[in-house]
Amino acid sequence: MRGMQLDSLNPALLNVQYAVRGELAIKAESYRENLKSDDHGLPFNQVISSNIGNPQQKGLDQPPITFNRQIAALLEWPALAELAKDAFPKDVLARAKQLKEEIGSIGAYSHSQGVPMIRKHVADFIAERDGYPADPNHIFLTGGASAGVSLLISMLISSPKDGILIPIPQYPLYTATLAAYSGVPLPYHLDEESEWATSPRDIEESIKKAQADGINVKALVIINPGNPTGALLDEPVMESVVRMCEQHNLVLLADEVYQSNLHSRDTHPFISFKQVVCAMGSPVPLVSFHSISKGVTGECGRRGGYFEATNIGDDVVALMYKMVSVGLCPPLAGQIGVDCMVRPPKPGDESYPLYQKETDLTHQVLAERTKLMAQRLNKLPGARCVNSPGALYLYPRIELPDKAVEAARQAGKEPDAFYALQLLDETGICVVPGSGFGQKEGEHHYRLTCLCPGVEEYVTALERFHLGFMERYA
């Protein structure tokens, strides 16, 4: 039977690449299995998964927020409210009761767009953040932000000549999803010399090139704060981007999932594109994405997120609703996580002191690790690292010796992947090579998270490997 062989399937799927969980991650998992044996023969005793922003992953162990887990526990088993009510703060019991009355059992389907009350709370959160109202009927709860991104790309790409502008370096979700729907990724380069700034001029040049090549440019993706760079856009650049979208009739896709991961809030604040679009009175169609997977929440496995459709007609929103209805509804556990994210405890609530202590500590630890790692990496010969004001990552650039580049070519590997594979083999540290995110010709980078505990030991291992690698191929 040929019905389920590779040559009988959608050929677009063969072009999908997702470096974050690619070759290095697969090899790291095999090493993790080997380490369970007493005679594993590896030169390290643990695998450090620095390849993915997965805060609560075993070995990274960012603690979950107590308030969120208490709400989740009471919704999973409502009888706890009576059996162990003295174990829960009064505001937690009240919140869980309110959600239970609205949702019923979380084992049942919800509204396909998400629980109406939770969408109302998301709208309130957006309005308080930006100073402009949000319509709950234009908010969709999703199974993580990636589900919303996939939906929008599937709607925008109607022919193989349709393209979407994506930043380089970029989170590979975008190129992978475009490949799956036979769309064209249109790269525009971020400026590493200016702390990975977004250049409207570079975007304009990419649009002109695409049009000359006969590509119909449909949308522009902005990741803010950046992944993998952590860069933040300032308001003048954001205004330029909005005007460009007006000029070229583009949909603006704003990936803002790291908006609460800010290491220097006073000097590098987050400004949403919703706020900028509304302040300008712009008619630009805007879809903004957020998630419970990042920030201090870090609940990746619960699969919760949302997107808001701004300046998008009710007829298109109705089509969005029809499409999400095919999947019945987003996970209820994720929807409850979204409610906790947009409605945290407030001063005066019984849960607030602990919530503030936990979130302050997570912010502090991430900021300290990011700063220390950038400082240490910048002292290495042949390495340069822009400090990151946001997100969870650093994206150092490495100047590899010609001998290493040639050895990589002979091995059939990209040079930064060649470097990253040896790093994994010698230290157990798994990173993502820059070739998986996109970079300029002749440049080499890798992305690593700032989530790892024991940062001193971790960075020391990185330093020792780098020095040995550079000497080996000098």
- How much is the average pLDDT of 359-366? 87
Query: How many other CB atoms are there within 10 angstroms of residue 326's CB atom?
Result: 7
Query: How many other CB atoms are there within 10 angstroms of residue 370's CB atom?
Result: 26
380 token code pair: 């290495």
How confident is residue 101, by pLDDT bands cut at 50, 70 and 90?
very high
Nearest of 386, 428, 420 to residue 400 by alpha carbon: 420
Is 100-342 in CATH node 1.10.3720.10?
A: no
More confident residue, 172 or 285: 285
Examine the pLDDT at 426 and tell me if it is beyond 70: yes
| pLDDT at res. 12 | 63
- How much is the average pLDDT of 60-84? 88
Containing H/E element for 162? strand 162-168
Examine the pLDDT at 1 and tell me if it is beyond 60: no
Segments making up each domain of the chain, as ranges: 6-62+357-472, 100-342
For residues 102 and 332, the answer to whether their CB atoms sit within 8 Å is no
What are 3-53's pLDDT values in tens digits?
A: 666 565 566 656 655 545 567 778 888 888 888 887 777 888 888 888 777
389 token code pair: 């004001």
Question: Does the model's pTM come out above 0.85?
Answer: yes
The CATH architecture to which 6-62+357-472 belongs is Alpha-Beta Complex (3.90)
| pLDDT at res. 76 | 92
What are 141-177's pLDDT values in tens digits?
A: 999 888 898 899 888 998 889 999 999 887 778 888 8
- Report in angstroms the alpha-carbon separations of 301 from 53, 144, 196, 358: 12, 9, 30, 20
Query: How many other CB atoms are there within 10 angstroms of residue 282's CB atom?
Result: 19
Same fold, 6-62+357-472 and 100-342: no
- How much is the average pLDDT of 175-190? 87
pLDDT > 70: what percent of the chain? 94
For residues 334 and 302, the answer to whether their CB atoms sit within 8 Å is yes
How confident is residue 248, by pLDDT bands cut at 50, 70 and 90?
very high
